[in-house]
Structure 1
Amino acid sequence: MKRTIAAAAVGATAALVLTGCGGAATTTPTEGGSDGGKLTVWNWGSADDAAKAYEADVLAAFKEVHPDVEVEIVSQPFDQYYTLLGSAIEAGTGPDLALFNGGTQLKSRADQLIPVTDELADLEDTLAGWPAFQTGGETYSAPMFLQGFPIYYNKAIFEAAGLDPENPPTTWDDLSAACDAVLASTDKSCFALGNKEGLGIEFFLSGFASGLFTPEEYDSWIDGTRDWESEHAKQALQLWADTSADGWYNDGANSTAMFNDSFDLFSGGEAAMVIGLTSGIAHWKQFDEFLGEDLGFMMPVTVNDGTTLALPVEGGIGYGILNEDKKDLGVDWIKATVDHDALAAYSVAGGQITSDTTIELDTDIQSAQDIVAELPGSKPLLHTALSGETLDLLHRLGQQLLIGEVTVDDAASQLAASEG
């Protein structure tokens, strides 16, 4: 069954909805080919055959425009990626292009990147997810995929706990009751959580945000006028601490790696729910391989009145140009990464929700279809609007809140001071 991705212009106010399958993103070269040279590209590697095939397709699309340019792709370990990149840039040995996560990781380095606003303008109407790669009125990359934090659940565990597997919780009270039932009736945890890297609170905050914050509060947060000591911001921190105290998570969450140990717990049927991803890893295709028809997708739940539930999704990853002298080549590499045919092939093979809104997602996996259906009303991720300094602090405080080493008031005060 084919399903057209009708995606929102993620993070913007107007929805971008396109149908059909023939509207390929054009890869018009910035100059008439090339007489040679070398382009050095950093990324964090290709984890599987589908990712390797996509990289090969990107390279082929680039070579159509620049057949004589040598492309050196250097894969760095993800857990050290930004540290290594920062050191290389400082030493003057950085690459010509580097792969970045959208949001904080790219925006915090915008002063080191080359703007490509005008050069990518011809792609604006075809791709969704741009705001994650834009700051200060400039665009620094094109989004390759849409990345978000959907909540997945195991229907078999729900049924074993006496819950309706076809009607997941829609309010926080329902969710709390469901967790109580899972913990009382099964030997499973309610949520799989890996917080060794401190990332768990990112997923919690962005995953549940639309049910916590009013639309006005949500937009203010994204715009940078946020107050960590406000009622709902402190409530988010309190719920994070309370869910741990109430035993929702697997033992040793703070010593469990999110990638991939916590997701393996969910895939292996050891947890009823997990806040996963829409693309890249820990997504609908990966979980379906283990759980099949037991895999379910659910929206965030309503915590407070006056909120509007929305799937948290924005542009996921994209290449930024670091070398002004290689700008033209870099722009053509970025355009190759969003080549229509390359993205279309990767969408199903790799389990990606692509940024190209003209691509049909050819799958009968129900959770993927459900995610696509929610894209037009999606909202950007709250945690990627934070500075790198505040995000690092949030990771540390999230670990401490999980085990009661810091109070919510103190955590909120520290976070407010970091942005003051």
Structure 2
Amino acid sequence: MKRRIAIPAAIGVAALALTGCGGASPNGSTGGGSGTSDKLVVWNWGDADEAAAAYTEDVKAAFAEKHPDVEVEIVNQPFDQYYTLLGSAIEAGTGPDVALFNGGTQLKSRADSLIPVTDELADLEDTLAGWPAFQADGETYSAPMFLQGFPIYYNKALFTGAGLDADNPPQTWDELAAACTSITEKTDASCFALGNKEGLGIEFFLSGFGSGVFTPEEYDAWIDGDRDWTSEHAVQVLQMWADTAADGWYNEGANSTAMFNDSFDLFSGGKSAMVIGLMSGTAHWKQFDEFLGEDLGFMMPVTVNDGTTLALPAEGGIGYGVLNEDKKELGVDWIKATVDHDALAAYSLAGGQITSDTTIELDTDIVSANDIVAESAGSKPLLHTALEAETLDLLHRLGQQLLGGEVTVQDAAAQLAASEG
């Protein structure tokens, strides 16, 4: 029998730069905003699949109920160029009226270009979780559509093949290291699937394991902007990243492997025993379940240091921001349409989403999904999304260099510290 589970409302979340919630439409263009009141130009990075396309149609229908005479022009941009194209369009004065943003760094670094909608969305505050990812300096710039986070998934069959207890995954860093040794020695799989061609792997590593490294006080200070990359535990994370590569935890050629979706295909195909994946959009419990079924497991971060409190890293994922002051009213109603209860409810199971709407129940017998939702109440925001855009870009480059042994941990820490002043 399937369990019906309500998504908890008390989710401690803050800000996320998810790295791809969908694919781009092949016929995307670079259209600009409209100057007429009967048209709304919306930019996003396209629909990943049929479920996402159906959700988009539901959103358009919900918007049309309020504005039946307004034409909605949706422009799909390629995700790998999305923010570059958007920035150029904004600078040239040809940007859209409304644009999709990843919560956290990507939205907050562009807050100066966005129209605050704090008062207009206040009536949704008690229904949706994930707001901090779309807030800056006391203002709200969007409503979270889905929750996003970095669960650690594992392949129970490969665990068993390596002589490990598939029902009791590692709980400490030492146990995880021992498990990786067993996996690489006793199976043909790598311990973790990793795609770092774009430099994104260290984001997942930092946020995925961070709660087991930093004390709760250090964690909260990091999110609030009070962090020191040369501190003991920040350096420790960088060292762990370098050491895991040196110890052979990852698939060969990780720095030339795309994360989306090549690395996740390695995990789905049984070529890696574990992966730090996502909980919505893509590389999530529903997609992995299609390949692994009952062999799919979910585990929490592991304890690295004493005095830490493990937490699922999760927060608001994506949301639309208003760029055109003249279209603010239409933009707000578009945002509200994206979090329409019926639209989100239909998409939640079909698309593998864990929605921001805390009143929606997820009807599934997929154990990992149930376990993820059960841990959501104690979740903590993602560490990497608290970083400024320039620091995040630097972290990507240094992550690749650390993986390849091209820079020392101490030098990487010093560069990151200097980037934040």
Q: Same fold (TM over 0.5)?
A: yes
Q: How far does the alpha carbon of each residue in 1:135-194 deviate from its partner, in whole angstroms, 9 at most, with x for none?
A: 100000000000000000000000000000000000000000000000010110000000
Question: 2:12: which partner in 1?
Answer: 10
Whichever residue aligns with residue 6 of structure 1, its letter is P
Distance (Å, rounded) in 2 between the aligned partners of 1:419 and 1:5: 36
State the shift of 1:8 in Å.
Answer: 2.8
Question: 2:89: which partner in 1?
Answer: 88
Distance (Å, rounded) in 2 between the aligned partners of 1:289 and 1:11: 28
Structure 1 residue runs of 5 or longer lacking an equivalent are 13-34
Check if 1:345 corresponds to 2:346.
Answer: yes
Distance (Å, rounded) in 2 between the aligned partners of 1:215 and 1:178: 27
Question: 1:50: which partner in 2?
Answer: 51
Structure 2 residue runs of 5 or longer lacking an equivalent are 15-35
Alignment of 1:155-304 (within 5 A): 155-304=156-305
Q: How far does the alpha carbon of each residue in 1:221-245 deviate from its partner, in whole angstroms, 9 at most, with x for none?
A: 0000000000000000000000000
Distance (Å, rounded) in 1 between the aligned partners of 2:135 and 2:101: 13
Whichever residue aligns with residue 396 of structure 1, its letter is R
- Contact 1:39/1:71 (8 A) holds in 2: yes
State the shift of 1:6 in Å.
Answer: 1.0
Question: 2:19: which partner in 1?
Answer: none
- Contact 2:11/2:378 (8 A) holds in 1: no
Question: 1:24: which partner in 2?
Answer: none
- Contact 2:37/2:327 (8 A) holds in 1: no
Distance (Å, rounded) in 2 between the aligned partners of 1:56 and 1:127: 21
- TM-score of the pair, normalised by structure 2: 0.94
State the shift of 1:311 in Å.
Answer: 0.1
State the shift of 1:11 in Å.
Answer: 2.7
Distance (Å, rounded) in 1 between the aligned partners of 2:5 and 2:393: 38
Distance (Å, rounded) in 2 between the aligned partners of 1:324 and 1:10: 31
Question: 1:417: which partner in 2?
Answer: 418
Alignment of 1:400-411 (within 5 A): 400-411=401-412
- Contact 1:36/1:68 (8 A) holds in 2: no
Whichever residue aligns with residue 5 of structure 1, its letter is I
Alignment of 1:330-369 (within 5 A): 330-369=331-370
Alignment of 1:125-136 (within 5 A): 125-136=126-137
Q: How far does the alpha carbon of each residue in 1:244-265 deviate from its partner, in whole angstroms, 9 at most, with x for none?
A: 0000000000000000000000
Distance (Å, rounded) in 2 between the aligned partners of 1:212 and 1:152: 19
- TM-score of the pair, normalised by structure 1: 0.94
- Contact 2:58/2:343 (8 A) holds in 1: yes
Distance (Å, rounded) in 2 between the aligned partners of 1:243 and 1:142: 37
- Contact 1:38/1:70 (8 A) holds in 2: yes
Check if 1:75 corresponds to 2:76.
Answer: yes
- Contact 1:10/1:315 (8 A) holds in 2: no
SS of corresponding position for 1:274: strand
Whichever residue aligns with residue 98 of structure 2, its letter is L
Q: How far does the alpha carbon of each residue in 1:296-324 deviate from its partner, in whole angstroms, 9 at most, with x for none?
A: 00000000000000000000000000000
**How many pairs does the alignment contain?**
398
SS of corresponding position for 2:154: strand
SS of corresponding position for 1:83: helix
SS of corresponding position for 2:321: strand
- Contact 1:10/1:130 (8 A) holds in 2: no
Q: How far does the alpha carbon of each residue in 1:48-94 deviate from its partner, in whole angstroms, 9 at most, with x for none?
A: 00000000000000000000000000000001100110111111110
Distance (Å, rounded) in 2 between the aligned partners of 1:122 and 1:367: 32
RMSD across aligned C-alpha pairs, in angstroms? 0.8
- Contact 2:314/2:380 (8 A) holds in 1: yes
Question: 2:61: which partner in 1?
Answer: 60
